[in-house]
Chains A and B, each alone.
Chain A
Amino acid sequence: MRPERGADPVTTAGPVLYARSRALPQTITALAVTTLLAIWAAHALDSYLDPDRQVPVVALAPLFASAVIGTSLHTASDELDRTAVRPWWRRRLLHLLTLTALATALLPLAVLTSTQTFGPPAMIRNVLGCTGLTAAAAVVLGARLSWLPVFGYVSAMYLGIAGLRGGALPAWAWLLEPRTGGTAWTTAATLFLLGGTAYVIRGARPTP
């Protein structure tokens, strides 16, 4: 029988196999597509005319990006992975930080024209907050359902937007805070730190 692939040393290299086992190529592609959609949406909404039109972009793009990152935390062979010689926390940390860094580098490209409100800092803040929530959800619910709580949160915030906007927002409404600095950043950074730490220590909950 003719082999489908040869014993190419690249295909049996551990880090490459790890990346493929976590569907990282697909994840990176999905992050790039999310960025392109966000750029298109920001342009289509004529957001340069009114910064408030950026809200759907700075709320939904981080939601999609964090969902993609959260799903990539799934492992199909959890039981065998546990017999790995090296502790997993280093790989988990590198995995989460690399994808979060990529998302925080790509998504702000969609809101570069807005510098005062809902600009790149707000996008980065929202990516961090949403990813932190997703990482925590991966620990509790498993990676495949990790998008669910952040989806619920963003939906609730987005649907309740009229009642929330204007004046100082409470800490839990960090997603919609138009300005940079203050409690919104503190909340988002805390969520990333706590969610990320929980994931790095415990890993995603095993699910079929």
Chain B
Amino acid sequence: MTTIQVAGLHVRHRKTVALDSLDLDFGPGVHGLLGPNGAGKTSLIRVLATVAAPTGGRVEMLGEDIGDPRGRAAVRRRLGYLPQEFGYYPGFTVREFVAYMAWLKEMPAADTPAAVERAVARVGLADRIDAKIKTLSGGMVRRVGIAQAIVNEPKVLFLDEPTAGLDPEQRVEFREMLRELGATATVLVSTHLVEDVAAACTEVTLIAAGRLAYRGTPDSLTALGTTADGIGDNPIERGYTAALRAHRESAAVREVAAR
């Protein structure tokens, strides 16, 4: 079952092409989005999270065209998003911030208090729910961000570098939560940490220079690391670098052929 369908997606930031005619589709499960800095991961996540409009192409999500305002509104009710950096209001407590985001997603007012407490408990911050966010550590603030992303029990969830700032134990717990979320929702996780992908993702998408470089599973990427000529400390890292090299070489060949 496909929940997200991306066709010919093109994103341009002034003179730089961030995404170049990208075609992708995602179904329920946890999808790792890998790629070097500047590959276009954040551009893709921002378009899918409906916060940035693409220059071209079409995105269909949960059966709705997000280019259409009505379709976009319908998707946003069932969408969760954690950006790389989310601002928060210094005077807000964790409860208030998550409740504010629930209100923006138009959750029924009667359901909101319980949903907020559930989401906050899920990220392990139940004992700090009435603490001001500004008093929390960086890792805790990150978890507040995850709580607001899941408060509406989203059907599609986009997480941009969600484990940045989390300690190893929290990362393990977070991966467990990802697996739970992926059972019912389509979760797209952008990360540089390939071990997170290996541990929690059902599929891997690697993009480079705005184009699709590799698609497969963590196992297939790991297998690539055992057979191909990649660098890294473990098989999946070697698979990642090998896939990236192979993509760059084929792109160079295509470019030469096109001249």
Contact = CB atoms under 8 A, between A and B. Distances in A.
A83 B99 CA distance: 14
B93 A79 contact: no
A77 B109 contact: no
Nearest to B78: A85
Interface of A: 1, 3-7, 9, 11-14, 17-18, 20-21, 75-87
Provide the main secondary structure of the chain A interface.
Answer: loop
Contacts of B11: none
A84 B95 contact: no
Interface string B54-85: 00000000000000010001001101010101
Contact of B100 (A1, A5, A14, A83): A14
Interface of B: 49-51, 69, 73, 76-77, 79, 81, 83, 85-93, 95-96, 99-101, 103-106, 109, 112-113, 116-117, 127-132, 148
30 contacts: A1-B128, A3-B130, A4-B93, A4-B132, A5-B95, A11-B93, A11-B95, A11-B99, A14-B99, A14-B104, A17-B92, A17-B96, A17-B100, A21-B89, A76-B89, A76-B90, A77-B86, A77-B88, A79-B86, A80-B86, A80-B87, A81-B104, A82-B51, A83-B49, A83-B50, A83-B76, A83-B81, A84-B76, A85-B105, A85-B106
A21 B104 contact: no
Nearest to B117: A7
Contacts of B81: 80, 83
A5 B127 contact: no
Given A83-B81, A85-B105, 14 more contacts: A1-B127, A3-B130, A4-B93, A12-B112, A20-B91, A77-B87, A79-B51, A79-B86, A79-B87, A80-B86, A80-B104, A82-B51, A83-B50, A83-B51
